[in-house]
Amino acid sequence: MSEVPWVEKYRPRSLEEYVGNSEAVEHLIRWVKNWDPKGKKAALLYGPPGVGKTTIALIVARMFNYDLVEMNASDWRTAEKVSRVAGRAAEQGTLYGQSRRIILIDEVDGIAGEDVGGLTALLDVMRKSRNPVILVANDIWQPRFSILREVCELIEFKRLTSRDIVKHLKRICAMEELEADDDALKVIAEKSEGDMRSAVNDLQTVSYGRKRITVEDVSWLAVRNRILPIFDALKLVFYAKTVNGAKSAFEMVDMDPEMFFEWVYENVPAQFNAPEDLAEAFENLALADLFLARIKREQNWKLLSYALEYMTAGVAVSRRYSKPKWAPFKFPSRIKFLSALKARRELLNSLAAKIASKTHASKSKAVREYLPYLKAIAILNPSLCEKIGKNLGLTEEEFSVLGGLKEAPEKPSRVKYARRR
Ligand SMILES: Nc1ncnc2c1ncn2[C@@H]1O[C@H](COP(=O)(O)OP(=O)(O)OP(=O)(O)O)[C@@H](O)[C@H]1O
Ligand SMILES: [Mg+2]
């Protein structure tokens, strides 16, 4: 079972649930109510991420009982696509007595990064529209948006106050039957810097496996912005004084869990010298690895806290007989190994592409059927091979592949290693 993100689960569906930016909200409602095809065709909602711009557009459409035609502008690469999709929707009106529509065009910043056509088409759609258009953007002060600024009703959304954020978090806690200290919610709110999406995500992360949230549980948020170098995070694991200290290590680095796993895994042997401790640490890492694999397979992120606990606190408490000693931290060798493999694959791929284009075969056929002959020629008749290589336009590196590509060795398995005792 995978957990629904709370930002979706608790996305406000009505004005009562929506917090903050009341002036902007009133402005928008007034504008929709008084919308007149001869006036400004579109409202442009702008402001920082996660403050409810998209959400309020959805709520307002529902309030007026309008159908919402939603489009994400970042998907639009070309003018043609914009006018095809949006144009049709905008022109259709109250034919056949169907209800009015609101056209929502989200993430306008993403439109027409390189291609001005997208923007021109957007303006055209607005001009033709017989329905209110709501545009949403983060940054509207880029020069290329100057016309958009002129023709739209501008409505600014501001960062939310901590008070507003706490109010929404409390509602979520109540629905989730989660007990949370006011101060803990305040820490989350303050750390989010007015971004409700990030606050709600933090609340969900912190609450995994907990029924109650205290200030202590959220204390790591306070240092998150000060991202630690990986070595400092490893110190927290290997020289942990408390279980919570070890657990906080992962939160403090900007790294995905699997990469963090590799770092811990690589460094366990140098940090622990007692065999009992080593065995215990690897046992815990094996469990972490199993959880990581399951998360990947089932996309079950709820399990992440278990994986993290085994690879941080689990390793930290494995130290019973080993004395803490200084040893330099090492870069994970599996990562090095995998990137070497990747480079090898890329090389083979570019070689195959060259053979394929000369022989009018597919790349896989080039590898399967032509490459073995080229390799044989390289051994039997090196000078001929050199000529062929020149003719194919091979780089020196690609040419070296013909000299004998070794089969890629099997990727070493971490779990197997950990289980061998
Ligand atoms: N004012 C708010 N009141 C309650 N919840 C909110 C509010 N603003 C945002 N949220 C929560 O945060 C999530 C993200 O909000 P939304 O998508 O509306 O942000 P946005 O301003 O459109 O951000 P972006 O600029 O990144 O698109 C919502 O699903 C909702 O759960
Ligand atoms: Mg949005």
Q: Residue 44, SS3?
A: strand
What's the gap in Å between 10 CA and the centre of ligand 1? 10
Tokens of 101: 């529509």
Nearest CA residue ID for atom 13, ligand 1: 197
One pLDDT digit (tens) per residue for the chain, 421 residues: 346 789 989 999 999 999 999 999 999 999 999 999 889 999 999 999 999 999 999 999 999 999 888 876 666 555 666 666 666 665 655 444 456 889 898 888 777 555 567 788 788 888 888 889 999 998 888 888 888 999 999 999 999 999 999 999 999 999 999 999 999 999 999 988 899 998 998 898 788 778 899 988 887 666 555 456 788 788 889 988 788 888 888 887 777 888 899 999 999 998 998 999 999 999 999 999 999 999 988 888 889 999 999 999 999 999 999 887 777 777 788 777 777 777 788 888 899 999 999 889 888 888 888 888 888 888 888 888 889 999 999 988 888 888 743 444 444 444 444 443 3
Location of structure tokens 């020289």: 239
CATH architecture of 162-224: Orthogonal Bundle (1.10)
Instruction: Please tell me if the CB atom of residue 306 comes closer than 6 angstroms to any atom of ligand 1.
Output: no
pLDDT of residue 30: 97
Q: Residue 180, SS3?
A: strand
Q: Annotate 61-74 with DSSP letters as a single string.
A: HHHTT-EEEEEEGG
- 21-156, CATH topology level: Rossmann fold (3.40.50)
Q: Residue 323, SS3?
A: coil
User: How far is it, in rounded angstroms, from Cα 304 to Cα 261?
Assistant: 12
Alpha helices in 299-403 (DSSP H): 304-311, 313-316, 333-359, 363-365, 371-380, 382-392, 396-402
pLDDT of residue 186: 95
Q: Which ligand is nearest to the CA of 138?
A: 1
Instruction: Please tell me if the CB atom of residue 54 comes closer than 6 angstroms to any atom of ligand 1.
Output: yes
pLDDT of residue 324: 74
How is the chain split into domains, by residue range?
21-156, 162-224, 230-316, 339-402
Task: Note whether 21-156 and 162-224 share their fold.
Answer: no
pLDDT of residue 228: 60
Instruction: Please tell me if the CB atom of residue 138 comes closer than 6 angstroms to any atom of ligand 1.
Output: yes
The Cβ of residue 137 has, within 10 Å, a number of other Cβ atoms equal to 23
Select from 21, 51, 192, 204 the residue to mutate for testing ligand 1; criterion: most ligand atoms less than 8 Å from CB: 51
Instruction: Please tell me if the CB atom of residue 200 comes closer than 6 angstroms to any atom of ligand 1.
Output: yes
User: How far is it, in rounded angstroms, from Cα 135 to Cα 46?
Assistant: 8
Instruction: Please tell me if the CB atom of residue 204 comes closer than 6 angstroms to any atom of ligand 1.
Output: no
pLDDT of residue 411: 46
| pTM beyond 0.85 | no
What's the gap in Å between 46 CA and the centre of ligand 1? 12
Alpha helices in 104-157 (DSSP H): 116-128, 146-151
What does DSSP assign to residue 217? H
pLDDT of residue 417: 42
- The answer to whether the CB of 102 falls within 8 A of the CB of 66 is yes
Instruction: Please tell me if the CB atom of residue 159 comes closer than 6 angstroms to any atom of ligand 1.
Output: no
Instruction: Please tell me if the CB atom of residue 12 comes closer than 6 angstroms to any atom of ligand 1.
Output: yes
Comparing CA positions, the residue from 56, 72, 58 lying closest to residue 122 is: 72
Q: Which ligand is nearest to the CA of 51?
A: 1
Q: Annotate 134-194 with DSSP letters as a single string.
A: EEEES---SGGGHHHHHHEEEEE--PPPHHHHHHHHHHHHHHHT-EE-HHHHHHHHHHTTT
